Amino acid sequence: MDNYADSRDYKLLEKDKYTFFVLRKIIDKPCELLLSDHEKLIVCYSGNPYPVWIWTADNVSAEEMDMAYSLVAESGLLDGKHSFNVKYPLAEYFIKRASAESKSMSITMNMFTYDCPNPIKPEITADGEIYLCNSNDIEELTEFLSMFHEEVGTDLDSAAEYRQNIENDIKNGSIYLWKNKCGYSVASCKLKPSGNAASLGMVFTRPEYRRKHYAENLVYQVTVKAKEAGYIPILYTNADYEASNACYKKVGYVLRGKLCSIG
């Protein structure tokens, strides 16, 4: 196994360009762990509090799954503190293998990946308008990011780290809020370009303002901006959040892949 990625890995990930979009982005950056045989297996861990990404081919063998398990075990990542984003066959193998070793492991989240070839304007136009955030909005956006992670229960971090993430996103000009007719910020969404695609994230509506179509209208408008800039809009969702998935489908998102998080 090598400790670097190259063109061979990029070619492999092109086959799963939506499902492993995040992995494709992080292998270009300094990582706490990066292992690849450039053919059947890529293991990447950027660092706390993020999950370990493991890419395997669709025809993954038992031997390759054993190698993946052994690699993360040898790296100290089977300590109960880390989660893994993987395809379902590998998830099943990890769970059974852990059980045989008297360890408990289970699926913590089912995930869908979507792209949006043709945005569809919402049938109901929400009151208010989209707002591109700037440095004056850092405190409010830090609160939105904290609420988002608390609700989804993943990548939980400190307020200082959330603020740093927001400052970086602001520099990229990629975070939006939806302000209602009273000028109050009710929903958020950020856009992160990478290559020819751009992922939507931090889609969150304050609980007291839900079911008013704010997120639907915000996602639609951010998606249009991505398309106009020449990007393929994509997003990850919790597959068990029916309302969110229905919202994305309404504005033109198409299901392209499935994976899960185990821990």
Do 190 and 169 meet the contact criterion of CB atoms below 8 Å apart?
Answer: yes
Do 22 and 65 meet the contact criterion of CB atoms below 8 Å apart?
Answer: no
Determine if the peptide bond prior to 49 is cis (ω within 30°).
yes
Place of tokens 């360890």: 103
| pLDDT score for 155 | 64
Query: Mean pLDDT per 10-residue run, the chain (263 residues)?
Result: 94 91 89 95 91 95 96 94 95 96 94 95 96 92 84 72 86 89 94 88 91 95 96 92 89 95 94
CATH T-level fold of 129-255? Aminopeptidase (3.40.630)
Q: Is the dihedral of CA 140, 228, 239, 65 positive or negative?
A: negative
| pLDDT score for 154 | 66
Burial letters for 91-121: b for 16+ Cβ neighbours within 10 Å, e otherwise? bebbbebbeeeeeebeeebbbbbbbbeebee
| pLDDT score for 157 | 67
Cβ contacts of 176 within 8 Å, gap of 6 or more: 130, 131, 132, 133, 188, 189, 190, 191, 218, 221, 222
| pLDDT score for 32 | 92
Do 32 and 47 meet the contact criterion of CB atoms below 8 Å apart?
Answer: yes
Do 258 and 239 meet the contact criterion of CB atoms below 8 Å apart?
Answer: yes
| pLDDT score for 243 | 83
| CATH 3.40.630.30 segments of the chain | 129-255
Tens digits of residue pLDDT in 174-190: 899 999 999 999 999 99
| pLDDT score for 194 | 82
